[in-house]
Structure 1
Amino acid sequence: MVNMTKYTVIGAGAMGLRYGVLMQERTDNEVDFVDTWEPNVEKIKEQGGVFVSRDHEDKHLVPINIDYPEDYQGDPDVWIIFVKQMQLADMLKRCAHLFKDHQVVFTAMNGMGHIEKISKYFSDERIIGGTAMVATVLNGPGDVDFMGKPRTGVTHMVNKTEKNDERTLAIVKDFEEAGTGPVVTEKFMGTLMSKVVFNAVVNTLCTMFEIQMGQFIEYPGAKEMTWQLMNESFDACERAGIQLVETRAEEVESVDYVSRVANPFHYPSMYQDFSNGRPTEVDYINGYIAKLGREHDYTCRTHEFVTHEVHLAEAMRKYKKT
Structure 2
Amino acid sequence: MLPALWLGRFGALRGAVICGLAVALFQALPGLLYLGASGANLSRSVLPAIVAVGVTVAGASAQQTIQHQQRMSSAIFDTVDVGLVLLSRAGAYQSMNRRHEDFIRLAYPDGHGGIAGQTGEVYAEDGSTLLARELTPTFRAMSEEEFDDCRIWVGRDPRTRRALSVSARIVRESGVCDSVEAASPAAEAAGVTLHLLAPAVLPMYADPRRLGQVADNLLSNAVKYSQRGGRVDVTLTVDGDRAQLEVRDTGIGISSADRDRLFTRFFRSRLAEERSIPGVGLGLNITKQIVEAHGGRIEVESVLGAGSVFRVRLPLEEPLAPQL
Please state which band the TM-score falls in when normalised by the shorter chain. under 0.3
Question: Which protein has the larger Cα radius of gyration, Structure 1 or Structure 2?
Answer: 2
TM-score, L = length of structure 1: 0.28
TM-score, L = length of structure 2: 0.28
Per residue, is there more helix in 1 or in 2? 1
Between 1 and 2, higher relative CO (CA 8 Å, sep ≥ 6) is seen in 1
